[in-house]
Amino acid sequence: MKILRIFIINWGFLLMSKVMNKAEKLADAIVESDEFVAMVNAEEKIDSDQDASELVEEIEALQKKIDKSKDDEKLKKKMASLQKTMWQNEKIKSFMQKQQKFNKLMSKVHKRINQKLSPKASENNPK
């Protein structure tokens, strides 16, 4: 009985290792994808531009204030104005577009995994 338990534990470890190896390969493929590389490059351009990075920091700080005081119309108007300014900044705009493309890729990856996990659901919702 003890040998059987050891075998089951080792077998479970091997299966988990296989899954983790596949997950690591998937992560490597994602990191090497055009979408990820483009997003990271666009983010680096924002980081190297003082005006763009200050605008992003200001928006993030304002968002935290809005989250704390949800009904403050003055803060919401300021956010709308900052967002308009943000979309006028080409580096930020480029990053956000590339981030959207990356998010679409991740959504497709998630969908594919879900399809494999529940084959009956994928028969009803083909690619």
How many domains does the chain divide into?
A: 1
According to DSSP, residue 1 is labeled -
In a domain, 22, yes or no: no
pTM for the full predicted model: 0.74
Structural domain includes residue 56: yes
- 56 by Cβ neighbours in 10 Å (0-12 / 13-18 / 19+) ranks as buried
What's the CA gap between 111 and 109, in Å, rounded? 5
pLDDT of residue 72: 84
Provide the Cα torsion 30, 33, 38, 39; round to 10°: -10
Name the average pLDDT for the chain: 86
pLDDT tens for residues 11-42?
A: 555 566 878 889 999 999 999 999 999 999 99
Q: How many CB atoms lie within 10 A of CB 102?
A: 20
Residue 85 domain boundaries: 51-105
Q: Check residues 70 and 73 and name the one with the higher pLDDT.
A: 73
